[in-house]
Protein backbone atom coordinates (compact mmCIF):
# COMPACT_ATOMS: atom_id res chain seq x y z
CA UNK A 1 0.00 0.00 0.00
CA UNK A 2 1.41 3.37 -1.04
CA UNK A 3 1.15 6.54 0.93
CA UNK A 4 -1.91 8.70 0.21
CA UNK A 5 -1.36 12.26 -0.97
CA UNK A 6 -3.41 14.87 -2.82
CA UNK A 7 -3.50 18.51 -3.82
CA UNK A 8 -5.38 20.51 -1.22
CA UNK A 9 -8.31 22.84 -1.65
CA UNK A 10 -6.50 25.98 -0.51
CA UNK A 11 -9.68 28.07 -0.46
CA UNK A 12 -11.40 25.88 2.10
CA UNK A 13 -11.95 27.35 5.52
CA UNK A 14 -12.67 23.88 6.91
CA UNK A 15 -11.09 22.50 10.05
CA UNK A 16 -7.38 21.89 9.34
CA UNK A 17 -7.85 18.29 10.54
CA UNK A 18 -10.19 17.43 7.63
CA UNK A 19 -8.83 16.01 4.33
CA UNK A 20 -9.51 19.23 2.36
CA UNK A 21 -9.61 17.55 -1.06
CA UNK A 22 -10.01 19.53 -4.25
CA UNK A 23 -13.15 18.69 -6.19
CA UNK A 24 -12.66 16.62 -8.21
CA UNK A 25 -9.92 14.94 -6.17
CA UNK A 26 -6.38 15.43 -7.48
CA UNK A 27 -4.23 12.59 -6.15
CA UNK A 28 -0.43 12.89 -6.03
CA UNK A 29 1.78 9.92 -6.83
CA UNK A 30 4.73 8.74 -4.72
CA UNK A 31 6.90 9.51 -7.79
CA UNK A 32 5.83 13.16 -7.73
CA UNK A 33 6.58 13.34 -4.00
CA UNK A 34 10.01 11.85 -4.72
CA UNK A 35 10.62 14.61 -7.32
CA UNK A 36 10.10 17.07 -4.46
CA UNK A 37 12.61 15.17 -2.32
CA UNK A 38 9.97 13.54 -0.09
CA UNK A 39 10.98 9.94 0.64
CA UNK A 40 8.71 7.16 1.89
CA UNK A 41 8.93 3.64 3.27
CA UNK A 42 6.19 1.29 4.45
CA UNK A 43 7.37 -0.61 7.55
CA UNK A 44 5.92 -2.81 10.29
CA UNK A 45 5.10 -0.52 13.23
CA UNK A 46 4.37 -3.44 15.56
CA UNK A 47 8.00 -4.59 15.45
CA UNK A 48 9.92 -1.33 15.21
CA UNK A 49 12.43 -2.29 17.92
CA UNK A 50 13.61 -5.30 15.86
CA UNK A 51 12.83 -4.18 12.31
CA UNK A 52 15.83 -4.96 10.08
CA UNK A 53 14.63 -2.58 7.35
CA UNK A 54 14.32 0.32 9.81
CA UNK A 55 17.76 -0.51 11.20
CA UNK A 56 19.23 -0.47 7.67
CA UNK A 57 17.57 2.89 6.85
CA UNK A 58 18.94 4.37 10.07
CA UNK A 59 22.46 3.04 9.40
CA UNK A 60 22.48 4.03 5.70
CA UNK A 61 21.29 7.58 6.43
CA UNK A 62 23.20 8.10 9.70
CA UNK A 63 20.13 8.51 11.95
CA UNK A 64 21.71 7.95 15.35
CA UNK A 65 19.13 9.88 17.42
CA UNK A 66 15.64 8.53 18.10
CA UNK A 67 12.77 9.44 20.39
CA UNK A 68 9.04 8.74 20.58
CA UNK A 69 6.35 11.38 20.74
CA UNK A 70 2.62 11.03 21.48
CA UNK A 71 0.55 13.91 20.16
CA UNK A 72 -2.99 14.07 21.50
CA UNK A 73 -5.03 16.38 23.76
CA UNK A 74 -4.37 14.21 26.82
CA UNK A 75 -0.57 14.18 26.47
CA UNK A 76 0.36 17.60 25.09
CA UNK A 77 0.08 20.64 27.34
CA UNK A 78 -1.67 23.57 25.65
CA UNK A 79 -2.68 21.21 22.84
CA UNK A 80 -4.64 23.67 20.66
CA UNK A 81 -1.81 26.21 20.72
CA UNK A 82 0.79 23.52 19.85
CA UNK A 83 -1.35 22.29 16.94
CA UNK A 84 -1.66 25.87 15.72
CA UNK A 85 2.16 26.24 15.86
CA UNK A 86 2.72 22.94 14.02
CA UNK A 87 0.37 24.19 11.29
CA UNK A 88 2.41 27.35 10.64
CA UNK A 89 4.29 27.03 7.34
CA UNK A 90 8.03 26.63 7.92
CA UNK A 91 11.29 24.96 6.92
CA UNK A 92 14.03 23.22 8.86
CA UNK A 93 17.78 23.30 8.26
CA UNK A 94 17.80 19.47 8.45
CA UNK A 95 15.63 16.65 7.18
CA UNK A 96 12.44 15.98 9.10
CA UNK A 97 12.12 12.21 9.63
CA UNK A 98 8.93 10.81 11.10
CA UNK A 99 7.81 7.20 11.48
CA UNK A 100 4.13 6.79 12.38
CA UNK A 101 3.72 3.97 14.90
CA UNK A 102 0.07 4.52 15.85
CA UNK A 103 -2.77 6.80 14.79
CA UNK A 104 -2.55 9.14 11.81
CA UNK A 105 -1.79 12.73 10.85
CA UNK A 106 -1.07 15.00 7.90
CA UNK A 107 2.08 16.61 6.60
CA UNK A 108 1.41 19.35 4.06
CA UNK A 109 4.27 20.22 1.69
CA UNK A 110 4.60 22.85 -1.03
CA UNK A 111 5.34 21.62 -4.53
CA UNK A 112 7.54 23.44 -7.06
CA UNK A 113 4.57 25.58 -8.11
CA UNK A 114 3.80 26.54 -4.49
CA UNK A 115 0.68 24.35 -4.31
CA UNK A 116 -0.12 22.52 -1.09
CA UNK A 117 0.03 18.73 -1.13
CA UNK A 118 -1.50 16.90 1.84
CA UNK A 119 0.28 13.66 2.81
CA UNK A 120 -1.69 11.36 5.09
CA UNK A 121 0.61 9.29 7.29
CA UNK A 122 -0.72 6.25 9.10
CA UNK A 123 0.78 3.48 11.23
CA UNK A 124 3.70 1.99 9.30
CA UNK A 125 4.53 5.07 7.21
CA UNK A 126 8.05 6.47 7.47
CA UNK A 127 8.41 9.82 5.72
CA UNK A 128 11.42 12.06 5.18
CA UNK A 129 10.95 15.70 4.27
CA UNK A 130 14.07 17.31 2.82
CA UNK A 131 15.74 20.25 4.53
CA UNK A 132 14.42 23.50 3.09
CA UNK A 133 10.98 22.31 1.92
CA UNK A 134 8.07 24.44 3.09
CA UNK A 135 5.75 22.29 5.15
CA UNK A 136 3.40 22.10 8.11
CA UNK A 137 1.87 19.39 10.29
CA UNK A 138 -1.52 18.67 11.78
CA UNK A 139 -3.45 15.81 13.25
CA UNK A 140 -6.47 14.41 11.43
CA UNK A 141 -9.84 14.07 13.16
CA UNK A 142 -8.60 11.06 15.15
CA UNK A 143 -6.64 13.56 17.28
CA UNK A 144 -3.86 11.05 17.98
CA UNK A 145 -0.52 10.04 16.53
CA UNK A 146 2.52 8.30 17.99
CA UNK A 147 5.64 9.25 16.08
CA UNK A 148 9.24 8.13 16.10
CA UNK A 149 11.51 11.08 15.40
CA UNK A 150 14.91 10.33 13.86
CA UNK A 151 17.83 12.70 13.47
CA UNK A 152 21.50 12.81 12.52
CA UNK A 153 23.54 13.92 15.53
CA UNK A 154 22.05 16.18 18.18
CA UNK A 155 18.47 17.08 17.30
CA UNK A 156 17.68 20.65 16.34
CA UNK A 157 13.93 21.23 16.11
CA UNK A 158 14.10 24.91 15.13
CA UNK A 159 11.35 25.92 12.72
CA UNK A 160 12.01 28.86 10.41
CA UNK A 161 8.66 30.35 9.42
CA UNK A 162 8.05 31.48 5.87
CA UNK A 163 9.46 33.51 4.15
CA UNK A 164 12.93 31.92 4.23
CA UNK A 165 14.16 32.28 0.65
CA UNK A 166 17.62 33.37 1.85
CA UNK A 167 18.06 30.52 4.34
CA UNK A 168 20.94 28.22 3.24
CA UNK A 169 18.75 25.09 3.49
CA UNK A 170 16.06 26.68 1.31
CA UNK A 171 18.62 27.81 -1.28
CA UNK A 172 20.10 24.29 -1.41
CA UNK A 173 16.63 22.74 -1.72
CA UNK A 174 15.71 25.03 -4.64
CA UNK A 175 19.08 24.38 -6.30
CA UNK A 176 18.48 20.62 -6.07
CA UNK A 177 14.98 20.97 -7.56
CA UNK A 178 16.33 22.98 -10.50
CA UNK A 179 19.28 20.61 -11.03
CA UNK A 180 16.99 17.57 -11.08
CA UNK A 181 14.57 19.29 -13.48
CA UNK A 182 17.39 20.22 -15.87
CA UNK A 183 18.87 16.71 -15.59
CA UNK A 184 15.50 15.12 -16.43
CA UNK A 185 15.09 17.44 -19.42
CA UNK A 186 18.56 16.51 -20.72
CA UNK A 187 17.80 12.80 -20.31
CA UNK A 188 14.56 13.21 -22.28
CA UNK A 189 16.49 15.05 -25.03
Q: d(Cα 69, Cα 101) in Å, to the nearest integer? A: 10
Would you say 135 is a known binding-site residue?
A: yes
In whole angstroms, give the CA distance from residue 14 to residue 4.
Answer: 20
Is 96 known as a binding-site position? yes
Does the annotation flag 167 for ligand binding? no
- For residue 93, give Cα distances in angstroms to 98, 133, 148, 155: 16, 9, 19, 11
92 is in an annotated binding site: yes
Q: 9 CB contacts (<8 Å, ≥6 apart)? A: 20, 21, 22, 23
b/e 103-118 (16+ beta carbons within 10 angstroms → b)? bbbbbbbbbeeeebbb
Q: Which residues belong to the annotated binding site?
A: 90, 92, 96, 135
Instruction: Indicate the annotated binding residues for Ni(2+).
Output: 90, 92, 96, 135
Residues making up the annotated binding site for Fe(2+) are 90, 92, 96, 135
Amino acid sequence: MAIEAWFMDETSGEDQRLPRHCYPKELVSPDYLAELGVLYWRLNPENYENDAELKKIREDRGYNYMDLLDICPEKVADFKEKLKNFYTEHIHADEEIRYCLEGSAYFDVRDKYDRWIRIWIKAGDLIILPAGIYHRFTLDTGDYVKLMRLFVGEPVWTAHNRPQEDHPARKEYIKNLVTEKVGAALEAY
